[in-house]
Structure 1
Amino acid sequence: MKITQISIFIENQSGRLWEVCDLLGKNNINIRALSLADTSDFGILRLIVNDPEKAYQKLRENEFTVGKTEVIAVEVPDSPGGLAKVLKILKDNNINVEYMYAFVERSGDCAIMIFRFDETDKAIEALNNNGIKTIKGQEIYGL
């Protein structure tokens, strides 16, 4: 159920985001989802890609500061209150959401969200026990 997310620390300057995307594209690595958070000096680009190991290697070879993190993809009901339903399960199980972002695909009547938790295994169990589907990495990478 866990998905490998690539996190890249990039300087907050013109062209750095392009360098990452250009490098990935030239190596046939497709970005499935992304999140960019920045400060005045640097940004953290978080990516879900079709081949996380290859992306990690290529970025390191090109001297980017890169890390891998486990996240999960969750089907969230695409209706008013859908995200609140998922978040209530997490709240009721005392699970903290460190961050989250949207995914580009839809699955039936659900949207897909990427979550990072402080207790990933506990979150997966709580969500699955309450009828919320978590999506396998291979399914996400292959979209």
Structure 2
Amino acid sequence: MKIKQISVFLENKSGRLAAVTRLLAGRGINIRALSIADTSDFGILRLIVNDPDEAYRALKEAGFTVSLTEVLGVEMPDRPGGLSHILSLLEEADINIEYLYAFIGRGENGAMVIFRVEELDKAIAVLQQKGITVLEGEKIYQL
């Protein structure tokens, strides 16, 4: 139920993001979702890819500052209130969300959200008990 996310520290200068994507493409690694948080000096690129272990190795070998983090993926209806419902369940369970990012997938529950939470196992259990589809890493990697 946990998904491996790659986080890459990037200097905020021209060509750094292109270098990461070029490296991953050269290794046959496909990006499934991404998010960038930046300041004037640096950014954190967060990626869900089809082969997180290989992506980690490739980026590390190329000299990037990179880490692997476990996150939670949730599938939900792509309609008004879909995200609000999930957030309410986590709030009721007193689970803090560090960050999230969303993307559109395939199927009837076409929206997917990646969450970084403080209590990952608790969040998975709470959401599953409430009937929320918590995604396996392999499902996300294969999209």
CA contact (8 A) 2:71 2:114 kept: yes
CA contact (8 A) 2:75 2:109 kept: no
Deviating above 2 A after TM superposition, structure 1's stretches of 4 or more consecutive aligned residues are none
Residues 101-139 of structure 1: per-residue CA shift (max 9 Å, x gap): 013413313411111100000000000000111010011
CA contact (8 A) 2:4 2:70 kept: yes
**Greater alpha carbon shift after TM alignment, 29-38 vs 75-84:** 75-84
Q: Which amino acid aligns with 1:3?
A: I
Q: Which amino acid aligns with 1:94?
A: D
Residues 84-115 of structure 1: per-residue CA shift (max 9 Å, x gap): 11111001100011100013413313411111
Which residue matches 1:121? Answer: 121
Which residue matches 2:133? Answer: 133
Residues 39-84 of structure 1: per-residue CA shift (max 9 Å, x gap): 1111000000000000000000000000010001101222111111
**Greater alpha carbon shift after TM alignment, 132-141 vs 97-106:** 97-106
Which residue matches 1:5? Answer: 5
Structure 1 residue runs without a partner (length 5+): none
CA contact (8 A) 1:8 1:44 kept: yes
User: What secondary structure sits across from 2:47 in the alignment?
Assistant: strand
User: What secondary structure sits across from 2:21 in the alignment?
Assistant: helix
1:24-103 aligned at under 5 Å gives the runs: 24-103=24-103
User: What secondary structure sits across from 2:13 in the alignment?
Assistant: coil
**Greater alpha carbon shift after TM alignment, 68-77 vs 19-28:** 68-77
Percent same amino acid among aligned pairs?
58
Distance 2:131 2:120 in 1: 17
User: What secondary structure sits across from 2:105 in the alignment?
Assistant: strand
Q: Which amino acid aligns with 1:33?
A: A
